[in-house]
Amino acid sequence: MGDTYEGGCACGQVRYVTTGPPARTGVCHCRYCQLRTGSAFGVSVYFASPDVTVTGETRPYAFTTESGRAFTTHFCPTCGTSVFWRVAVFPDLIGVAGGTFDPPTFWFVPVTEVFTRSRAPFVHLDVPQSHATSPAHAPVCDDPVARRGG
Ligand SMILES: [Zn+2]
Ligand SMILES: [Zn+2]
């Protein structure tokens, strides 16, 4: 048991409820997250899959990372908000987009910052753990140029 939080996409068609504390929190500067959000970094709030209930239709976009693992992001087909994702490296977790919670929006504390190799030079964050890539990073192929980490 624990606190519940709600959130959803910009247009309101996709909604979710989370229960209990997150399993992991962090900020990701990888190119995938920059492209997924159209912004400088992704804010990741991971929960055990049963702790997230999603309502409304999402559309998946799946691709394989340079570490050879599946990354599937789910976005609202109407407004395009990237709402949640699943990554093969955390098979039991679901990553909720940290900017999509209803107020109190940023109730969680990001603990880890990953893929600082492609961090935008104007971004300065107060996050205790920092990694140039990530502890699980194990490249097996080259990304297309647009997705390549700096
Ligand atoms: Zn929407
Ligand atoms: Zn990322």
Distances (CA, A) of 100 to 31, 37, 144: 20, 11, 28
Q: How far apart, in whole angstroms, are the C-alpha atoms of residue 73 and residue 137?
A: 19
Residue span of the structural domain in which 75 resides:
4-147
57 alpha carbon – ligand 2 mean position (Å): 23
105 alpha carbon – ligand 1 mean position (Å): 17
CATH value at residue 91: 2.170.150.70
Q: Which amino acid is at 110?
A: P
The count of structural domains within the chain is 1
Q: How far apart, in whole angstroms, are the C-alpha atoms of residue 144 and residue 65?
A: 10
Least distant ligand from the CA of 75: 1
- Residue 140, phi-psi category: left (phi > 0), alpha (psi -120 to 50), beta (remainder): alpha
88 alpha carbon – ligand 1 mean position (Å): 25
Per-residue pLDDT tens digits for 4-24: 999 999 999 999 999 999 999
Per-residue pLDDT tens digits for 8-64: 999 999 999 999 999 999 999 999 999 999 999 999 999 999 999 999 999 999 998
